């Protein structure tokens, strides 16, 4: 496996939701690069298998016989940080959007996020 950086996930100035970015061909998203222009807010995600009809990302846990779900939220990432996803998260991501969430927090300036993806060696050589 190798690593590949994908950029172009931009929350425009005055908005709280980014465009979608294609992460197909990866086996796992391992890190999220938060831009230095980021105005602090909870960070949430929307996913799509084909780049349309995005849905909010929720995790499902089974602490017993019942299934419980919760929205995937990074509580308050600071500007210019790198978020590392623990093993077992970030697998199977095809298309992704990011959102400054909670009560939507419009970003005063455009914010471009990057994603560090784990990809098969043949894919990284072709990139």
Domains of the chain: 2-126 (2.60.120.260)
Distance CA 10, CA 19 (A): 6
In this prediction, residue 123 carries a pLDDT of 57
Q: What is the largest CA-CA distance in the chain?
A: 46
Compute φ and ψ for 43, nearest 5 degrees: -110, 125
What is the rounded CA–CA span in Å between residue 122 and residue 118? 12
28-85 pLDDT tens trace: 999 999 999 999 999 999 999 999 999 999 988 877 777 888 888 999 999 999 999 9
Q: Residue 25's pLDDT is what?
A: 94
pLDDT higher than threshold 90 for residue 124? no
What are the C-alpha distances in Å from 88 to residues 49, 53, 72, 109, 124? 19, 25, 14, 33, 21
The confidence score (pLDDT) of residue 2 equals 95
Mapped onto helix, strand or coil, the DSSP state of residue 85 is coil
Q: What is the pLDDT of residues 79-105, one digit of tens each?
A: 999 999 988 888 989 999 999 987 889
Does 125 score more than 80 pLDDT?
Answer: no
- Say what the pLDDT of residue 127 is: 57
Specify the pLDDT at position 70.
84
């Amino acid at each position: 496996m190798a690593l590949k950086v994908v950029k172009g996930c931009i929350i425009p100035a005055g908005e709280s939701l980014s465009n979608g970015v294609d992460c197909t061909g990866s086996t796992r998203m391992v890190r999220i690069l938060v831009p230095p222009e980021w105005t602090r807010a909870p960070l949430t995600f929307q996913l799509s298998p084909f780049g349309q009809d995005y849905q909010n990302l929720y995790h499902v846990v089974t602490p017993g016989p019942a299934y419980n779900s919760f929205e995937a939220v990074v509580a308050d990432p600071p500007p210019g940080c790198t978020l590392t996803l623990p093993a077992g998260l970030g697998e199977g991501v095809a298309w992704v959007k990011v959102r400054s969430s909670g009560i939507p927090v419009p970003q005063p300036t455009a914010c471009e996020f990057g994603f560090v993806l784990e990809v098969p060696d043949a894919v990284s050589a072709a990139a």
